[in-house]
Amino acid sequence: MTTEPCWHPDLLRRFVPTPYVFSTCDGLNQFFVESNDLEIALSARRSGILHRQCSQERGLFCRLIRDMAAPVDASEMTIVSNGSLRVLCLGQGTILIYDRERLELLGFISRNVRVQELISSLIPTLLRG
């Protein structure tokens, strides 16, 4: 008989619930957004650049977490890319990841980053590469 494991706490915040989910289909291209923040989820769903990315790459899965526990620190922006993975950091608290091969846009957004900045500046900068 096996029992449900007693897991280590979720220190990486991988399993933050994301109740706001939107999914649309344009032909064969599926555009999927999930977030723990309604404003982020709605803005991502309406984002032209994300829809264009979805059409060009034939699909896009976005999981964006508003991270209230993340440090709010200096706003130096760094992008590190290797192969199909591209990571944008704004300070330490905001981290956006785009995997071109897996068509996934993942991220933690610290509380000092406004949704407008995320959608119109950070995400376009990340995807531009």
Partner 1 sequence: MLVFSIDQIALPYSMDLCFAGAACELRTNYSQLARMLENLSISKDYAVPSGFSMRVYVEEASDAVAGEPHFRGLHHVVTASFGSSNLFVFDILRRTVSARVSAAIGRDERFWKEKLIPITLGVLGSAMGLVPVHCACLELDGEGLLIAGVSGAGKSTLSVALSEIGFNYVSDDWTYMSRRGNGIMAHGTSAPVKLLPDAVEHFQSLQGRSLQRSMNGELAYEVDIVEAFGAQVERVCEPRWLIFLERTQRAEAIFTATSHGKARTYVNSSIERLPSQLYEATAMREQTIEAVALLPSWHFQYGGTPQFAANELWKFVVHRRQEIYA
Which residues make up the interface to partner 1 (CB under 8 A)? 2-3, 5-8, 10-15, 63, 65, 67, 70-71, 73-74, 76-83, 85, 87, 89, 91-93, 95, 97, 99, 102, 104, 106-108, 125, 129
Closer by beta carbon to partner 1, 26 or else 92 = 92
Could you tell me the smallest distance in angstroms from the CB atom of residue 71 to partner 1?
Answer: 6
Site of tokens 């991270």: 67
Separation CA 33–CA 117 (nearest Å): 18
| Shortest reach from residue 55's CB to partner 1, in Å | 22
CB of 38 to partner 1, least distance (A): 19
Which among 42, 90, 91 is positioned nearest to 64, based on CA atoms?
42
Local structure of residue 33 (DSSP, 8 states)? E
Q: Decide whether 54 or 107 has the Cβ nearer to partner 1.
A: 107
Least distance CB 127 / partner 1 (angstroms): 14
SS3 category, 75: coil
> CB neighbours of 32 closer than 8 A, spacing ≥ 6?
21, 22, 23, 60, 61, 62
Nearer to partner 1 (CB atom), residue 103 or residue 119: 103
Q: Which is nearer to partner 1, 88 or 119 (CB)?
A: 88
Which residues, 6+ apart, have CB-to-CB distance to 14 below 8 Å?
none
